[in-house]
Amino acid sequence: MTNKEIKKDIRRNVISYLKETDKYSAEIELLKSLFQSTEWQQADSIGVTLSMDHEVSTENIIRFALIENKKVYVPNCDYKNKTMDFVRFHSPSDLYKDEKGILAVKHPTEVNNEIDLLLVPGLAFNREGYRVGYGGGYYDRFLSSFKGQTASVILDAQLMKIPVDDFDQPVHKIITEKRIITGVRR
């Protein structure tokens, strides 16, 4: 099997697992570890996805960041050019579902691609910080020039052996409900 085929199988299996798993108690542990991390405490700006139903929820991450007066930025994808920028999030009332059915900010006014801490989503990760996303390459392209801190909050079951391609970009830190792993990103 090619790396592309293996990643496709991983995506299918992990999405199925996440849809069937009660994540509530694990998410509490994830949030505790994230909010106690130095990266979180030192960050004035946070980049975070608006999670889909099967993913670890980012709703409370966003809420807590706003309570702490951190600036929150969420991805805004240009599907035609396969690029992504981070735009300021103020309120859930600013959101709509884009052409792919993904939550996005209706009228983005402030773009910031130099976020202090970027929480990178993914379906599967290895212990070196590399990930399998949804296959569009948006985060790998973005991370190839991103200079800030990166972390991912995932369930421990999402850690596994994955194929790594030349264009893949790792994260600095992986936080699960059971452990914190420092990646290889420099």
Task: Please state the residue numbers annotated as binding site for substrate.
Answer: 50, 55
Binding site, by residue number, is 7-11, 50, 55, 131-139
Total Cβ atoms within 10 A of residue 160: 14
Task: Report how far residue 178's alpha carbon sits from residue 186's, in angstroms, rounded to the nearest whole number.
Answer: 24
Contacts 24+ apart (CB under 8 A), 19-22: 19/53, 19/54, 21/155, 21/157
Instruction: Provide the residue type at 168 as one letter.
Output: D
Instruction: Give the pairing of strands 124-125 and 180-182.
Output: unpaired
Binding site for ATP, by residue number, is 7-11, 131-139
Task: Report how far residue 144's alpha carbon sits from residue 185's, in angstroms, rounded to the nearest whole number.
Answer: 10
Q: Dihedral (C-alpha) 156, 158, 160, 164: value to the nearest 10 degrees?
A: -130
Beta bridge partners of residue 65, listed in sequence order: none
